[in-house]
């Protein structure tokens, strides 16, 4: 890892799932446009369609965010991108469409959704295909240490992060697990649960040079905590301070 590859991660704030709110659904193109207009970086979530394409969507199920029901992974990419998002006029975007819209104008964090019982490699490959030729500041990240490990092995030039929470996992076993996942993941940065800061583990990794992002910053009070104990916030709602990110 070199400082040049990761220095941009510290330069500004990120809109969690884009700058969303009433009439602007999370992870939508409109939410991305809002973040860009505000000069904020963007964090988005990516799921795999039944036919192996990467789409920008957070939940495993369609129910909360659309008028459809059932798992995202049971639909083809064409079916998914035709589904309207609730509380707006947008539809589920494919990752390449999302990337084209952002176009390197602001930094982008792509969270790859993964489950322990499912091999994340197909989604990693799908995301990598989408990132080929993308020239803006972009990083992938995941709760699953196998994801950054995959990128470290097959495409180490892509900046990669490990998403961490200590919730319900604060004892000795939890500390051991975090160190194990760090060893497995070989990340370039950490994205840490704001509820766990300050954290001895997070502070130790930050001290040795890993940029420390923190999520989800939803209030001014949490934004102040992020300023004290992290390098950049991933924020939404009242936690967003409309100060421009620096690509």
CA distances from 67 to 39, 95, 130, 182 (A): 31, 21, 27, 39
Q: How far apart are CA 71 and CA 93, in angstroms?
A: 16
The pLDDT of residue 171 is 75
78 part of a folded domain: yes
Task: Retrieve residue 79's tokens.
Answer: 């079916």
Residue 148 lies in a domain: yes
Contact 84, 67 (CB under 8 A): yes
Q: Please check whether residue 191 is in contact with residue 109, taking contact to mean a CB–CB distance below 8 angstroms.
A: yes
244 lies in some domain = no
Instruction: Look at the alpha carbons of 174, 178, 179, 183 in this order and tell me if their dihedral is positive or negative.
Output: positive
Residue corresponding to tokens 């509820």: 195
**Does residue 206 fall inside a structural domain?**
yes
pLDDT (tens place) for every residue of the chain, 247 residues total: 456 899 999 999 999 999 999 999 999 999 999 999 999 999 999 999 999 999 999 999 999 999 999 999 999 999 999 999 999 989 999 999 999 999 999 999 999 999 999 999 999 999 999 999 999 999 999 999 999 999 999 999 999 999 999 976 777 788 899 999 999 999 999 999 999 999 999 999 999 999 999 999 999 999 999 999 999 999 999 999 865 444 4
Cβ 194 vs Cβ 213: under 8 Å: no
What is the domain range of residue 98? 3-239
The answer to whether residue 245 is domain-embedded is no
Q: Are 108 and 42 in contact (CB under 8 A)?
A: yes
Total domains in the chain come to: 1
Distance CA 31, CA 49 (A): 21
User: Given the structure tokens 């993308």, which residue do they identify?
Assistant: 134
What does the block give as tokens for 247?
């690509």
Give the CATH number, domain containing residue 179. 3.20.20.190
What is the model's pTM? 0.95
């Amino acid at each position: 890892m070199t400082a040049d590859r990761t220095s941009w991660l510290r330069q500004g704030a990120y809109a969690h799932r884009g700058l969303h709110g009433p009439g602007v659904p999370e992870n939508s193109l409109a939410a991305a446009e809002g973040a860009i207009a505000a000069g904020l970086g963007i964090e988005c979530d990516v799921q795999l369609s039944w036919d192996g394409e990467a789409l920008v969507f957070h939940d495993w199920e369609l129910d909360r965010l659309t008028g459809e029901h059932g798992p995202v992974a049971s639909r083809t990419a064409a079916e998914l991108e035709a589904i309207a998002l609730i509380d707006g006029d947008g539809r589920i975007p494919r990752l390449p469409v999302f990337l084209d819209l952002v176009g390197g104008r602001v930094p982008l964090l792509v969270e790859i959704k993964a489950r322990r019982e499912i091999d994340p490699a197909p989604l990693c490959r799908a995301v990598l295909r989408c990132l080929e030729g993308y020239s803006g500041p972009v990083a992938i990240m995941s709760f699953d240490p196998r994801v950054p490990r995959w990128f470290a092995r097959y495409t180490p030039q892509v900046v990669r992060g490990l998403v961490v929470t200590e919730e319900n996992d604060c004892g000795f076993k939890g500390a051991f697990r975090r160190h194990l996942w760090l060893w497995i993941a070989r990340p370039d940065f950490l994205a840490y649960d704001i509820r766990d800061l300050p954290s001895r583990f997070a502070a130790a990794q930050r001290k040795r040079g890993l940029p420390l992002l923190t999520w989800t910053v939803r209030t001014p009070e949490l934004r102040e905590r992020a300023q004290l104990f992290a390098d950049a916030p991933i924020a939404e709602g009242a936690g967003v301070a409309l100060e421009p990110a620096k690509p």
